[in-house]
């Protein structure tokens, strides 16, 4: 760190992958834990909903069908989720996958899902989450401290096992993962390749406090006080010690002109380590904002960092990962059309007996034809109108979504408006839909009180016994709330449980007296 007359230079002309920015990034996630997601600081809905989980489950099942004759049924086959965050995607996946897998012809394969992250606070959150406990107890879910930037082995917490090589093929899922990992930047000018090196300075007139002439990198707010600039330095295509990465640079030098592109060097390191772990029998399925076609990389300017609270994300060069995969003898699957919000690519290694016929078919069906990105795009268009949908349309929308709690809450005004006038068949459909939404729900401490809203609809349907169950769930997750206790007392009154109703009224009065 050095000072000039106007600002403080933290680092000068460093490769982006080696920048101090990533230290701040890791510090943010280590400190925030679950608060990064339940405060909606880090976007996650598009990659953590039942619809995308169902799509992934289909691709995973296709991969299992391709490998089924070569799988050792005496050893687990692992599904490893990298950077699993809140655990919400995993929960949706488990719900979707285990809805059909135990009834399939592949049910003899011992599947185990692994939640992984480098943040110990996230691992502790999963260990104690009540909705995950049944899966832990059944032995189909485990957790692992796994640092994608460094680790080459996999240590399972509950199984108390460390693996440096696996007996069966490996499935890896990684959503909104690569966009937060170190990357390098390169610029092409008139066929000359340049490394775009980063200089970080403390912004002029920044109010960030420097104590004893030292910056404190454990302060996540520091990142908002930094200015990022790039300096282009000519290089040869033999820039890296790694021949595979140099091959990618040569490819872009031959096929692109006057543009800037990112190279996901740590992502590629991670992919290589997982290939070793799996014995080169690997499905790597990943969804993120990024580019998968060469055309997407043309005429690009310096990368734009998108900030989420005190962390940031970059676009992901899935095209480079695909080129690496193909060059290593694997197969890369990309959607042929451009995405609106989410690019989902699959990278396949190994030679199953079917040459990945089933995996490719599942990818075409679940990722291309019924795209999670298309569904999310339609959801955004429907969001302003959800409260005015007819009951039939609202029910159809919830079913299509996979009983998504977020979409249900958006449609809640419509359900309340129609609940008292439904005919009997619709009444039963609505009650079943309410149960399915709750069964699919995974709470992470967000302010929305789903159980309370479900209970209100059931009260309108005069289903007081069931409504009381949901109000009890609301009290369990949200604590004592006067409005919830008031509704619960009404339920007990209609059920003839006078003592319980009076108790709720008394608790409500005590709370109101305190406030």
d(CA 489, CA 457): 16
| Helix (H/G/I), strand (E/B), else coil: 117 | strand
Number of Cβ within 10 Å of residue 200's Cβ equals 20
Q: How far is CA 238 from the centre of its chain?
A: 35
Please write the tens of the pLDDT for every residue from 139-179: 999 999 998 878 889 999 999 999 999 999 999 999 999 99
Q: If we measure between CA atoms, which residue out of 208, 272, 278, 284 comes closest to residue 240? A: 272
Beta strand 192-202 with 8-14 is antiparallel
| The residue count for the chain | 515
Residue located via tokens 């339920």? 491
Q: Is residue 313 within 8 Å of residue 28, measured between CB atoms?
A: no
Beta strand 8-14 with 343-349 is unpaired
Please write the tens of the pLDDT for every residue from 404-455: 999 999 999 999 999 989 988 899 999 999 999 999 999 999 889 999 999 9
d(CA 86, CA 186): 34
Q: If we measure between CA atoms, which residue out of 443, 435, 500, 442 comes closest to residue 463? A: 435
Cα 105 to Cα 57, 59, 69, 176, 360, distances in angstroms: 15, 16, 12, 32, 20
Sequence-distant contacts of 323-328: CB under 8 A, at least 24 apart = 323/248, 323/251, 324/244, 324/248, 324/268, 324/271, 325/271, 325/349, 327/244, 327/247, 328/244, 328/275
Beta strand 77-81 with 8-14 is unpaired
Which pLDDT score is estimated for 167? 95
What would the two tokens of residue 493 be?
């009154």
pLDDT in tens, the chain (515 residues): 455 545 688 899 999 999 999 888 888 888 888 887 777 777 789 999 999 999 999 999 999 999 999 999 999 999 999 999 999 999 999 999 999 999 999 999 999 999 999 989 999 999 999 999 999 999 999 999 998 878 889 999 999 999 999 999 999 999 999 999 999 999 999 989 999 999 999 876 656 555 545 666 677 678 888 899 999 999 988 999 999 999 999 999 999 999 999 999 999 999 999 999 999 999 999 999 999 999 999 999 999 888 887 788 999 999 999 999 999 999 999 999 989 999 999 999 999 999 999 999 999 999 999 999 999 999 999 999 999 999 999 999 999 999 999 999 999 999 999 998 998 889 999 999 999 999 999 999 988 999 999 999 999 999 999 999 999 999 999 999 999 999 999 999 999 999 999 999 999 998 888 76
Angle at 23 between CA 18 and CA 28, to 5 degrees: 150
Q: Which residues pair with 144 in a beta bridge?
A: 116
Beta strand 290-291 with 316-317 is parallel
d(CA 451, CA 438): 8
d(CA 50, CA 408): 12
d(CA 149, CA 242): 16
| Helix (H/G/I), strand (E/B), else coil: 447 | coil
DSSP string, 182-225: --EEEEEETTEEEEEEEEEEEPTT-----BTTB--TT-GGGGGG
- DSSP strands (E only) in 89-203: 111-117, 141-145, 154-156, 161-163, 170-175, 184-189, 192-202
Q: Is residue 83 within 8 Å of residue 180, measured between CB atoms?
A: yes
DSSP string, 23-89: HHHHHHHHHHTTHHHHTS-S--GGGSSHHHHHHHHHHHHHHHHHHGGG--TTS-EEEEESS-TTSHH
Mean pLDDT over each residue of the chain, to the nearest integer: 92
Q: Which residues pair with 141 in a beta bridge?
A: 113
């Amino acid at each position: 760190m050095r000072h000039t007359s106007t600002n403080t230079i933290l680092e000068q002309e460093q490769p982006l992958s080696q920048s101090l920015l990533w230290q701040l990034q890791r510090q943010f996630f280590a400190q925030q834990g679950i608060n990064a997601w339940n405060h909606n600081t880090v976007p996650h809905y598009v990659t953590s909903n039942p619809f995308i989980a169902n799509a992934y489950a289909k691709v995973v099942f296709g991969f299992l069908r391709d490998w089924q004759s070569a799988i050792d049924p005496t050893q687990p086959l692992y599904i490893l989720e990298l950077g699993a965050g809140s655990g919400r995607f995993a929960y949706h996946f488990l719900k979707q996958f285990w809805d059909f897998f135990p009834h399939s012809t592949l049910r003899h394969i011992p599947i185990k899902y692994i939640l992984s992250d480098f943040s110990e606070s996230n691992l502790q959150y999963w260990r104690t989450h009540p909705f995950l406990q049944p899966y832990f107890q059944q032995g189909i879910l485990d957790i692992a401290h796994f640092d994608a930037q460094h680790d080459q082995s996999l240590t399972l917490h509950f199984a108390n096992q460390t693996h440096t090589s696996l007996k069966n093929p490996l499935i890896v899922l990684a959503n909104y993962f690569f966009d937060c990992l170190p990357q390098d930047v390169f610029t092409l000018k008139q066929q000359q390749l340049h490394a775009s090196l980063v200089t970080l300075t403390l912004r002029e007139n920044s109010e960030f406090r420097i104590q004893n002439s030292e910056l404190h990198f454990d302060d996540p707010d520091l990142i908002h006080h930094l200015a990022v600039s790039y300096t282009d330095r000519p290089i040869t295509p033999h820039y890296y010690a790694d021949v595979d990465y140099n091959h990618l640079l040569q490819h872009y030098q031959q096929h692109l002109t006057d543009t800037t592109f990112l190279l996901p060097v740590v992502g590629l390191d991670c992919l290589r380590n997982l290939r070793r772990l799996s014995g080169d029998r690997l499905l790597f399925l990943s969804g993120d904002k990024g580019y998968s076609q060469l055309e997407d990389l043309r005429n690009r300017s310096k990368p734009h960092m998108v900030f989420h609270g005190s962390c940031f994300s970059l676009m992901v060069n899935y095209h480079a990962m695909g080129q690496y995969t193909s060059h290593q003898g694997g197969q890369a699957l990309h959607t042929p059309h451009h995405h609106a919000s989410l690019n989902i690519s699959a990278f396949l290694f190994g030679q199953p007996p079917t040459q990945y016929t089933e995996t490719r078919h599942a990818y075409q069906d679940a990722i291309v034809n019924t795209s999670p990105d298309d569904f999310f795009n339609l959801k955004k268009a429907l969001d302003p109108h959800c409260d005015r949908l007819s009951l039939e349309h609202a029910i159809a929308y919830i079913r299509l979504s996979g009983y998504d709690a977020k979409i249900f809450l958006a449609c809640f005004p419509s359900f309340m408006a129609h609940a008292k006038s439904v005919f009997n068949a619709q009444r039963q459909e609505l009650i079943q839909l309410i149960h399915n939404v709750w069964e699919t729900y995974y709470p992470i401490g967000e302010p929305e009180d789903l159980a309370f809203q479900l209970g209100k609809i059931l009260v309108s349907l005069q289903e007081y016994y069931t409504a009381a169950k949901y109000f009890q769930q609301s009290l369990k997750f949200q604590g004592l709330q006067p409005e919830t206790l008031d509704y619960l007392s009404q339920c007990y009154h209609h059920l003839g449980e006078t003592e319980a109703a009076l108790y709720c009224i008394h608790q409500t009065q005590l709370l109101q007296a305190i406030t």
